[in-house]
Amino acid sequence: MEGKTYASLKIENIVASGVIADEIDLAEISEKIDGCELNTKRFPGAVYRIDNPKMASLIFSSGKVVLTGIRNQEGLEEGLAKVLVSLKAAGVKILDVPRVAVTNIVCSYDIGRFINLNRVIATLSLEAIEYEPEQFPGLVYRVQDPKIVALLFSSGKIILTGGKTIEDVKKGLDFLEDKLKDVLSDQKPERK
């Protein structure tokens, strides 16, 4: 969809993970780094929170790290750099080239109109859909290429998860909107 705008598409969370060191002494870093907590009874890693950009880092003794709470690529790069600087200052030998990559992007989108979820079930391929309104008010639609999971709500709000790039998310959204075109065309127009 050339030139399409995604005005209401909003990144809610970016999750990245990878390896930054061969090993990390969690007890040592939790003592030396402000904002780094270790409670092995509750969680097997250290949790290091940063305020700017706002994010949480889950740090494991294996040298692996998971970064979450980030809302854009710049925040990811800036946050990772701060984590690496703090760990180096605490005596951790960081890999020459840390291998950290985006593993999941969670976005919200507002289609701008109500969605009749029962019509979606009647119209679309059932193997890609899960809908049990007694347990969860949203319809789960699994897009195969790219692998994106979309949660559709009757309000017209959609949550998209599973993309590794914003282009994946947009491609999944385009596919979904194309599938919903017939369902939405004979419903009431825009909601107010």
Please tell me which residue, 121 or 45, carries the higher pLDDT value.
45
Is pLDDT larger for residue 180 or for residue 192?
180
Q: Tokens representing 92?
A: 């951790």
H or E element that contains 74: helix 73-89
List, in order of start, the domains of the chain with CATH numbers.
16-102 (3.30.310.10), 111-185 (3.30.310.10)
Strands 139-143 and 10-21: unpaired
Residue with tokens 């692998």: 147
Where residue 191 falls among pLDDT bands split at 50, 70, 90?
very low
Distance CA(156)–CA(119), nearest Å, equals 14
pTM: 0.87
86-103, pLDDT tens digit by residue? Answer: 999 999 999 999 999 999
110-139 confidence digits (pLDDT tens):
998 899 999 888 887 677 899 999 999 999
Lowest mean pLDDT among 37-51, 75-89, 116-130: 116-130
Dihedral Cα 124, 126, 127, 129, nearest 10 deg: 80
By the 8 A CB rule, do 116 and 187 touch? yes
- pLDDT band of 186, cuts 50, 70, 90: low
